[in-house]
Structure 1
C-alpha cells in the first residue's frame, strides 16, 4: 500500500512539473479570434465574446492590457496594443495549468477568446475571467 501511495505521489509530482514547465506554442495560441458579430459563445473549455467598442481601438486595448495584467498569475505572451492583438497566459493557483486569452480589435469590434491548454473542461473559469475583463472596461465597450 505504501508503495502505491509513493508511486501516485511521484506521478502527481511529474504531471505538475510537466504542466508548470510547459512552453506555449505561440503560433497555435496567438491567433485572431474569429467572431464577426457581437455576442458570446461558450464551448467546452473555451469562451468567445465580441463587443462593439465605444472608444478608439488603442484606448480599449490599453485598458484591457492593464486589467489583464492586474489579474493574478497573468502575463502577456504575444502581441501588444500597437499590434491590435494580444495573447495572455493565466495560470491556475495550485497546479499552474495555463489558459490562453487572445484579444483583438477589428472593424470596431473587440473580440476575445479564452481557452484552456490542458484538459477538456474549464468549469467556467475562462468565461469568468473574460467577462471580468470586459466589465472592467466599463463604457469603453457597448453592452449586448
Structure 2
C-alpha cells in the first residue's frame, strides 16, 4: 500500500513539474493574420477581443501596466513600444500556463488569450481579458 501511495505522489509531482517547466512554443506568440473586427470573439480554449480606440499606443501602454500587475503573470516577449506583447499567466495551484498576446492593428487594440494544455480553459481567459478591458475603460 505504501509503494502505491508513493508512486501516486511521485506521479503528481512529475505531472506538476511537467506543466510548470515544459517550454511554450514561440509560435503561440505569433499574431499575424489573427486580427479580428471590433468585438468579442470566443475561441475553443480561449478568447479574443478587439477594441477600436483613438490612440492605440496609449491604450496599449495602459493595458500593459494592468496586465503586468496581475498575479502570476509575466511579460515574455515584446513591448508596447514594439506594438506587440506576449504574456504568460499561470493558474494558482497547478501552474497551467495561458498565453495572452496584445497588439495594435490599425486603430484597434487586439488581445487574445488561450490555453497551452488541454481543450477547455473553463472561461478563465475571457474573464481575465474582460476584467483587464473593464479596468482600462475599454
With normalisation by structure 2, the TM-score equals: 0.92
CA distance in 2, matches of 1:50, 1:42: 11
Q: Is 1:45 aligned to residue 45 of structure 2? A: yes
CA distance in 1, matches of 2:110, 2:101: 8
Cα offsets for 1:78-125 (capped at 9, x unmatched): 110111111110011111111000011111011111000011111111
CA RMSD of aligned residues (A): 1.4
Deviates more, 1:82-91 or 1:37-46: 37-46
Q: Which runs of 5+ in 1 are unaligned?
A: none
Residue in structure 1 matched with residue 3 of structure 2 by the alignment:
3
Q: Is 1:60 aligned to residue 59 of structure 2? A: yes
With normalisation by structure 1, the TM-score equals: 0.89
Q: Give the length in aligned residue pairs.
A: 137
Q: Which runs of 5+ in 2 are unaligned?
A: none
